[in-house]
Amino acid sequence: MNSAGVPQRRGGVLLHPTSLPGPGYCGDFGADARRFVDLVADAGLRIWQVLPLGPTHPDGCPYQSFSVHAGSPDLINLHWLVEQGWLTPEQAQGGLTDRYAKRQALDQASRAFFRQLESSPHSPMVAAYLQFLEIADFWLEDYARFHAFRNSLQQRPWTTWPEGLRKRDPAVCDATAATLAPQISDLRFRQFVFDCQWRELRDYATERGLLLFGDIPIYVHLESADVWAHQPMFDLDDSGLPNTVTGVPPDYFSAEGQLWGNPQYNWALMRETGFRWWLQRFDSAAKQFDIARIDHFRALQAYWEIPANAVTAKEGHWVEAPGRELLQAVRANYPELKLVAENLGSITAEVEALRKEFKLPGMLILQFAFDGNPENPYLNHLHQSGDIVYTGTHDNDTTLGWFNSLDAATRERVYAYFGNPDEAMPWMLIRQAMSSRANTAIIPWQDFLGLDGHHRMNTPGTTVGNWRWRFDWPQVPDGLAGQISDLLLACSRCPAGPLRAPAPGRLEAGT
């Protein structure tokens, strides 16, 4: 486990793949993703940060997934399936309209693939599929069964399933799976395709000198394969419902706090089992990314525990977590995995001590810097070289939207701090991020495009209108790559040549 705040000064961009342009209902891993990689690489940026890639619930929130290991079928590019001979162009076109249409197209491709498996069992693609089944064995079957069972029961929550399925009686689950074998095969196939496409995109990004920066959500959705398959690892009652749930107390993002509602972990059992469940999560991260952010890192030191029947997050209290032991286990098993700590919100000296003990870069958000406190750690002159600076994140307004919403006094503080520059927002703040002492500076793509608050990705504490934003290529100004490149040069963030990602797979201790 290494620090991602390496000495080389770099710039990066934050954009989730669903926000890419394209003909479908959301962005995917197709040609537009490669075009984006080319643009970013040509600009001299060296990091592409994304949000979690897992299969989402209907609200599209990447942090509330059906699985911490699986990939979202929404991100699969259907044209790739045409190239493999598993879909016709007409079938692919028909799958672009919405999730339901894409699932139908993927099932059509699945049937074609399994016909190929029977007729050409020794083909390279079949060999790749069998290898994927072996590598993903520790999570794939649980995930495929969970979705197949759920679909057969009209999408009912698993806590309402018949007892044999709900409590995972082996005989009942095996018998039910046998009746749903085609559907389970389709679900395995989707994950194989996702894995193939993500690996190809990662290889392409690596060739262009980009590191891929992923995200590890700290918590898991109750309605997920992970909770269903590992019920003892969570604080649940006999029916599978949470005894206690997750959230955060009031902070910058929400005056009422946030009641997330995920089940809390059974940390005693996690510790007793050597954190195996967590290590499998880091194993998946090591296979997918060059750098990974631990979302809500502070919960590894102490977490906000809320009674399941609470009305607001204010009813919670802090409980210490065995984060030090967990991070020791991660370091022993994945010494080369670069990790970043999301240390925003209610951060204490104990949280910072844990982060610094393991030399994990923290996050610096410039939009948080101008509250009038001269010791505000987000002010540029107080930044540390090992940390990562952002203008904002997916949870912030765009920089232009933020600036437009400031009161007069705060706006004057911004101007006074930067010396009343002629440069307008958002480039004023982008320049400050790039000139920071922090070795890594990452800018949301909306800020590079100069977009206002209508283009915000997420507003914490709300449930409507989030996670849907996409850009269009005409929004990219002529000469943007050159403008970014010039700024990187001025701020000593020029690339020093291609950066090669570590070979995918498990990173054994001592390697």
Where is 444: in which H helix or E strand?
strand 440-444
Q: Which of 107, 342, 387, 397 is catalytic?
A: 342
DSSP H stretches of helix in 14-85: 31-42, 78-83
Active site residue 395: yes
Annotate 471-498 with three-state secondary structure: CCHHHCCCCHHHHHHHHHHHCCCCCCCC
Annotate 265-298 with DSSP letters as a single string: B-HHHHHHTTTHHHHHHHHHHHHH-SEEEETTGG
Angle subtended by helix axes 181-207 and 99-119, to nearest 10: 100
- Give, as one character, the DSSP assignment of residue 252: S
Count the neighbouring beta carbons within 10 Å of the beta carbon of residue 480: 16
Q: Are strands 291-294 and 317-320 parallel, antiparallel or unpaired?
A: unpaired
Among residues 295, 305, 387, 447, the one annotated as catalytic is: 295
Sign (positive or negative) of CA dihedral 409, 411, 412, 414: positive
203 is catalytic: no
**Reduced to 3 states, what is the DSSP secondary structure of residue 365?**
strand
Active site residue 422: no
- Among the listed residues 186, 195, 395, 397, the single catalytic one is 395
Phi, psi of 215 (to 5 degrees): -140, 135
CB of 364 closer than 8 Å to CB of 439: no
Catalytically active residues are: 295, 342, 395
